[in-house]
Amino acid sequence: MKYYITTPIYYINDIPHIGHAYTTIAADVLARYHRAKGDEVFFLTGTDEHGAKIAEAAERAGKEPQEFADELVPKFVDAWKNLNISYDEFFRTTDPKHEEIVQEFVGKLKESGYVEKRKYEGLYCVGCEKFLKESELVDGKCPDHKKEPVKQAEENYFFKLSEFGDKILAKIESGEIEIGPDTRKNEVVGKIKQGLEDVSISRAGVKWGIPFPGDPEQTIYVWVDALLNYYSATEIYAHTTPNPSSERRGTAIPPLAPPDSGGGPEWPADLHLMAKDILWFHAVIWPAMLLAADLDLPKKVFAHGFFTINNQKMSKTIGNVIDPNEVVAKFGADAVRYALLREFPFGEDGDISVEKITSHYNSLANNIGNLLQRTLSMMNKYQVKSEKLKVKSEKVSIDSELEQLDFMGALKKIDDLAITTNKNIADKQPWVLAKEGKTEELTEVLVGAHSDLQTIAELLDPFMPETAEKMKSQLKSLEPEPLFPRLEE
């Protein structure tokens, strides 16, 4: 089975933060899980490099936008490397091949009759890269960026989104495009039913973008450019051999994982993953663009929640932005991956902090780490060999949790298995059994624990690949070494 999964392509106006890491880790868990099942996975991530937001950030830094982008891309590549993200391709929207595909696509849209040039006046938020309605403002400001949007009057090309409401509703209702979680799907459906407004797909005042076909005065709206990355990655792969990543502009970005044997991704995507902030673009505007161009729709779009840091919105002004590299340096990639997905349900909003990651690290050490240590040391001490007894390990599956993107539920199940096994050791007291010479019972407890640890390592693999690897090798050698060493102050 093919499995094509994507993250949003992140704006590179600044270095990556823990929010970007969250979605990317979740996608990585799914990619690894599907690879282990034998699926032909293609995992796409990347950077969104055009538009006013990036141009302004570059200007503040006194750089040309392309130069600025080229400097920021490695920060994302490094962060993903540190977090063990096994993407198959890192996509940049300044890839000339992508620019060509976007122009071609917009050219097709124009021909389809769904594009019209109109005068428009609206309130634009550069932070969101979109026009906001008066009704969306709070105290005259964008609720997400706490800034007043700028009044803009220009002549733009409009995409007639208003003509797609019923078609998209039908596709959602028939399940042809699945939107999750349900609460978000209902919000989207409700909003579509209120009627869709046409959207501007070009900008007259923005130079840093892909030229609009047939009108060099305008550039293509950055969101049209960005959404198309999911499709254009498939086109680039289909028409380029070998792996195009070596030929791309700017920094050479080697794919971390060798592309799966089947080659590149095929449209449509199986899953677009993102947070709720950009669900509308993915669940409505993107499908409408695809319908207008007669292309298939993504099979599933899932929006997870937003988290705060210490109960506050993450912001530079507050100074609570968490740099993924810093927490990885302190806790290791695996504990960070675990903590983010274990803390609150995927799909809901939550809160994260360094203290919370610390406490997850300690629980890992006290539960799974301790179980491995004590099992292996007792096996050594009492000369128990794992092949001595055939013991049935608890059958635990996290398939249904992962199918539903319930990462927290899956991790909880794994933790619970370790808790049960630890409790069994505490109850049976192998040290007493050894003293009393009850060899068979002693062996049963320890070999049972050994086999449960094997199960735990397998289940943990997509979440904590390094830890799973270490566990498997220790279970083989029977030489214990702490999985989660005491943290330095």
How far is Cα 404 from Cα 464, in angstroms, rounded to an integer?
19
Q: Does 206 bind ligand MSP (CB under 6 A)?
A: no
How far is Cα 35 from Cα 10, in angstroms, rounded to an integer?
24
Q: Is 50 known to be catalytic?
A: no
The CA-based dihedral angle spanning residues 144, 409, 35, 361, taken in that order and rounded to the nearest 10 degrees: 80
467 by Cβ neighbours in 10 Å (0-12 / 13-18 / 19+) ranks as buried
Q: Is 316 known to be catalytic?
A: yes
Smallest distance, ligand MSP to C-beta of residue 234, A: 14
Give SS3 for 309.
strand
Site string for ligand MSP, 303-322 (x = CB under 6 A): ---xx------x--------
Q: What's the 3-state SS for 188-239?
A: HHHHHHCCCCCEECEECCCCCCCEECCEEEEEECHHHHHHCHHHHHHHHHHH
Specify the DSSP element, H or E, that contains 295.
none
Q: Does 23 bind ligand MSP (CB under 6 A)?
A: yes
Closest CA to 85 of 414, 465, 339, 484: 465
Identify whether the C-beta of residue 302 lies closer than 8 Å to the C-beta of residue 273. Answer: yes
Q: What's the 3-state SS for 328-356?
A: HHHHCHHHHHHHHHHHCCCCCCEEECHHH
The active-site residue out of 128, 130, 160, 304 is 128
Q: Is 145 known to be catalytic?
A: yes
Instruction: Restricting to residues 321-380, name those near ligand MSP by CB under 6 A.
Output: none
Q: Does 430 bind ligand MSP (CB under 6 A)?
A: no
The active-site residue out of 50, 125, 360, 428 is 125
Site string for ligand MSP, 43-82 (x = CB under 6 A): -----x----------------------------------
274/433 with CB nearer ligand MSP: 274
Of residues 5, 20, 43, 367, which one binds ligand MSP by CB under 6 A? 20
Q: Token match 């039913």: residue?
A: 193
Q: Does 274 bind ligand MSP (CB under 6 A)?
A: yes
How far is Cα 482 from Cα 377, in angstroms, rounded to an integer?
11
* Sequence letter at residue 222: V
Site string for ligand MSP, 162-201 (x = CB under 6 A): ----------------------------------------
199/418 with CB nearer ligand MSP: 199
Q: Which residue is nearest to ligand MSP (CB)?
A: 19
DSSP state of 15: -
213/298 with CB nearer ligand MSP: 298
Smallest distance, ligand MSP to C-beta of residue 6, A: 8
Site string for ligand MSP, 212-231 (x = CB under 6 A): --------------xx----
Q: Does 209 bind ligand MSP (CB under 6 A)?
A: no
Q: What angle do CA 14, 150, 109 make, to 5 degrees?
A: 80
57/333 with CB nearer ligand MSP: 57
Q: Is 388 known to be catalytic?
A: no
Smallest distance, ligand MSP to C-beta of residue 277, A: 5
Q: What angle do CA 167, 160, 131 make, to 5 degrees?
A: 115
250/263 with CB nearer ligand MSP: 250
In the complex, the residues that contact ligand MSP under the rule CB under 6 A are 8-11, 19-20, 22-23, 48, 226-227, 274-275, 277-278, 306-307, 314
- Catalytically annotated residues: 17, 20, 125, 128, 142, 145, 313, 316
